[in-house]
Structure 1
Amino acid sequence: MSEPDDAPIRYRVRHLTEYRYSNNVAVCQNQVRMQPVTGGNVTCEQTELSIAPEPTSRDEHIDYFGNRVITFSIEAIHKSLTVDVESIVAVSANITTDSQPSPQWETLLATSPNERHRPKIDEHRFGSPRITPADPYAKYAASSFSPQRSIIDAALDLTRRINADFKYDTTATTVATTTQEAFSLRAGVCQDFAHVEIACLRSMGLAARYVSGYLRTLPPPGKERLIGADESHAWVEVYAGDTIGWLGLDPTNACLVAADHIPVCIGRDYDDVSPMRGVVLGGGTNTLKVSVDVEPIADA
């Protein structure tokens, strides 16, 4: 018997990060945000993080936004660092336009009617380290947000316009490119597209946040799936009222977020969710290799 279309999809995800250094590293300290947590439309069945060389110390905590964070240090001479994360998750389809009524976007400009959730929503209406709401973003977004239009229709229209107006170009920007620069260039990658859309939504007075995770990709017809060829991905969530909650939007692919999207971390922008950050003492120059593999798996 086949499963219903809305049955959760189970995935095995592996994210492998490898650093090689030209000189010895005496000490390194790092934070890792690559492990999913159960919540929303995701159930994390299993997750394991391996580090080589073996850390001198290792701690774990849940940050302000609910993300799982591993902090570790290696206080021994080494010339390489490997961080290997393997997880099994089940992802359900999100609420769609067919399953819930969508409120008009103007009704969401003030606060959530649910006072218990109000602070966690309102904090995403304002500026963050990488995103400053401004008139140019509001002017760009305005044509999508006509009076009395539903939040889903308006936000999805904006998502599609960004996809059409901005060129996906891996050479146009870097991880340090500002939102303003990406907006001016009309080019970038998923991180830039997400930052621009969040800037537009916040400039319209709406609550919007950044999501990092993975996207299941399908090989061309007749081709085998390439192991390790997937990538990290980023998208946007806009608050769409207490019934719908946070609505996922993917400007890189001009679509609503579905069960093909596997969320890992949420935050105000990329600075809150970067997969790995840290400092090293020594090391000279380094080379970085990242491999991501997203594999759908059958139920046991």
Structure 2
Amino acid sequence: MKFNNAEDTIQLSPLWEGERFPDGRPKVPSSVLDRLSRITLEEAWGPLWSRGYHYQFEGEFKIIHPGKIMVGRAVTAVMVPKRPDLHDTLMNYGHEQEGRRGFFNQWVIDSLGEEDVVVIDMFDKIYQGTYVGGNLSTAISTRTKSGGAVIWGGIRDNQQIEKIDNINVYYRGSDPTAIADVTMVGMNVPARIGRAVCLPGDVVLGTPAGVIFIPAHLAELTATHAEKSQVRDVFGFARLNANVYTTAQIDAAWTMAMWQDFMDWFESDNAAAPYQHLTWERELEEARRNEDNGPSSDVRL
């Protein structure tokens, strides 16, 4: 087996049609990451859930910076309890065949680039399962600039990590012990994080409620649908505050008259300016069909 094998990573993401990193991970554009950083967890969750992606969210974490949003591209690794023969074989292979240095966790962090988030299945180990401390978190900060870590396991040196402002760390617990008695069996492979599944190159969106892993091929679609939901809410709140519509009208499929009111507002109101890259032909066509044939389901997802 090889660690961080590009051919394997490409095989895992056949639906991605864009640029890739040399390690095979999908390279979701920075502009899409920026758009996703401004949406809520629920807005990201909706488009995924409706498309059958039901195991993308995990909320059972402690968070170093609870109010800080984290977004980046996943670099994954899977750890298992130490079995001596397996451990020695893989450690020797990494050192002798791939030229790696240090312990398994250092191999992964040494591979990080800007806007990456390291995602680690540490099988919920905390005692001697501390994947990062102050030094490796500093390395994550230096390499990713704005990323961080999601660790289904432990960390140490919390007081030092809390002083690193440009990244965030999601973790299960902390302990003063160093990492020990674990073996890495895969790097940039599918990782199970609690109830969720993360693939290398997924967009990791960390929020105060937890972490959601957005498949790379759905990242731009998720951003678009989330932004449409957001801006419709901005419009809806404004019209509710002005007593123009009832909550029942806002929450139901909109009539063509409401859509025209929205489009007039969308094209002229300053509150809509951040969203004016969006287009609405599909929604307007759906509203016209509703007028002709009777109501159908909303199209917000």
What TM-score do you get using the length of structure 1 for normalisation? 0.24
* Larger helix share, 1 or 2: 2
Structure with bigger gyration radius? 2
* Larger strand share, 1 or 2: 1
